Amino acid sequence: MTERSILVAGEMLVDFIPATAGPLGEVESFDRRAGGAPANVAVALERLDERPWLCTNLSTDGFGDFLAATLEAEGVPDRFVTRSAHPTALAFVSHDRNGDRSFTFFREDTADMHIRTGGVDETALADAEWLVVGGVSLTDDPSRSAVIDLAERARDAGCRIVFDPNTRPDLWSEDSTRTLERMLSLTDVLKATPADFEPTNVPVDGETFGRRLLETGPDTVLVTRGAAGARAVAGPDAPWGAGEWSHGGYELDAVVDATGAGDAFLAGALSALVDGSGPEETLAFANAVAAVSTTESGAMAAVPNREAVEEFRTRQRG
């Protein structure tokens, strides 16, 4: 995979973003946007000049054509993108007055549940340095087994595994605990919030949350806290060495749409990790990418490029 050392695996779907804030039943119109957390991360990485691959499955329906065209326009290659006759998953977003959002999914035997990873062969994995896995792809088979198999093969090939659980209990066909435990055992860098583990038996108290997750497999845990910023907790096997660091985030005049802010954060953090940044710079850069992404509507559409992020950080320094 020449010049592309990051492989992102997981769902791509269509988000419908409301024209106005308020309960879903009161919204009269929506904007169609490309979405899905792993696809958001892949596009964000491309905009940050990190050149990722995306492994996903798209429908052959009209929405699938729209998603494929989006990837092409963003410069994300389709080498590991498959197509099937299953319908495209749809997510309707609703916002409260503070920009916080909730999702209503239409997802039954959809294309994203049929991700195939066999096309990512051992030669491809030997060239990759990072594999990023999104948790929604683990909710059902056959994608669950395919993505875990990919993670196992990537780990054997020497890739660093990055995992974002993005746990949505209403999407799981069974209890998520065993699957998450299996994925965590393969993970090197975990990006998470306490809400991701509320459906499981992992304690979610704020002060010890990150340290407890180190015991499940990862050597580095990035804990996002929304407007309050983020923390990094690393064990002795982490490239940074053992320690804890935090960044309080950035002041914003207004939040337009927080959809995809966590995905933007993960892309920013991974970009910094690939560039060899230390923990403080990793958190600062990731928080800046996330902050800028909330100033426009739509998860993928709002992701900034590297120039916009640096301009934002310069303004913040005053």
Q: What mean pLDDT is predicted for residues 89-98? A: 78
**SS3 letters across the chain:** CCCCCEEEECCCEEEEEECCCCCHHHCCCEEEEEECHHHHHHHHHHHCCCCEEEEEEEECCHHHHHHHHHHHHHCCCCCCEEEECCCCCEEEEEECCCCCEEEEEECCCCHHHHCCCCCCCHHHHHHCCEEEEEHHHHCCCCHHHHHHHHHHHHHHCCCEEEEECCCCHHHCCCCCHHHHHHHHHHCCEEEECHHHHCCCCCCCCCCCHHHHHHCCCCCEEEEECHHHCEEEEECCCCCCCCEEEEECCCCCCCCCCCCCHHHHHHHHHHHHHHCCCCHHHHHHHHHHHHHHHCCCCCCCCCCCCHHHHHHHHHHHHC
pTM of the predicted structure, to 2 decimals: 0.93
pLDDT (tens digit, 9 = 90+) per residue, 227-272?
889 999 999 999 999 999 999 989 887 777 677 789 999 999 999 9
Structural domains in the chain, CATH included, are: 5-10+37-87+109-316 (3.40.1190.20)
pLDDT at 298: 62
